[in-house]
A and B are shown apart, each in its own frame.
Chain A
Amino acid sequence: DAGVIQSPRHEVTEMGQEVTLRCKPISGHDYLFWYRQTMMRGLELLIYFNNNVPIDDSGMPEDRFSAKMPNASFSTLKIQPSEPRDSAVYFCASSNSPGLAGLSSYNEQFFGPGTRLTVL
């Protein structure tokens, strides 16, 4: 398996522009997580999905942020309009469900390589 795939790896944009980050989870994983990492705030959970349904979006900072998961193999995180304070590394991670027969019970998260977003 190729692991969790994120695109783009780097994004530089100007304030006010729309930014879309993409994620392809590991095949068979039914949980998907979006995180944001900054020096000041560390690793923050923004939102997570189970079976394509958003379960907890309490970490989404404000209405400018939205996330979708139209199918089991694709998710997007959109920022519109973007602001300089959104500059960070955004990670996507996936895991499988606890207790599924034949699978690891640990259900550790597998992370993508991250997208470094710079908003000027």
Chain B
Amino acid sequence: AQTVTQSQPEMSVQEAETVTLSCTYDTSENNYYLFWYKQPPSRQMILVIRQEAYKQQNATENRFSVNFQKAAKSFSLKISDSQLGDTAMYFCAFRNTGNQFYFGTGTSLTVIP
């Protein structure tokens, strides 16, 4: 079975600084998909960024980027120029080819003004 581990329950960052959230996963599959979701206080789950395991290039979406290390089964999220609106719970998720999703336990990020 696949598992997703987020080892940082809580993190904080100063506004305008950069922060990295870690995520590791365990799978025996070769192709799969990885996601980061953001859940602000409104509770809405919002997709932040996604990565396909076959793609070597790390995904980037504006201030959000990932460091995908397939051999190490690591998928960290980097947030640059942190903004107050980035304060949220962040979930790492894994999807296998059978469309089964596995979510991590989340990292609560606080951006400090």
Contacts and interface: CB of A to CB of B under 8 A. Distances in A.
Interface in A22-63: 31, 33, 42-43, 45, 50, 56
Contacts of A98: 97-99
Helix, strand, loop or mixed for chain B's interface?
strand
Contacts, number: 49
A109 B35 CA distance: 10
Nearest to A43: B103
A89 B35 contact: no
Contacts of A95: 99
A31 B99 contact: yes
Interface string B84-96: 0000000101010
A43 B44 contact: no
Query: Interface majority SS on A: helix, strand, loop or mixed?
Result: strand
Interface of A: 31, 33, 42-43, 45, 50, 56, 89, 91, 93, 95, 97-98, 105-111, 113-114, 116
Interface of B: 33, 35, 37, 42-47, 50, 52, 91, 93, 95, 97-101, 103, 105-106
Q: Which A-B residue pairs are the 8 nearest by beta carbons?
A: A111-B45, A42-B105, A43-B103, A106-B50, A114-B43, A106-B33, A98-B99, A108-B47
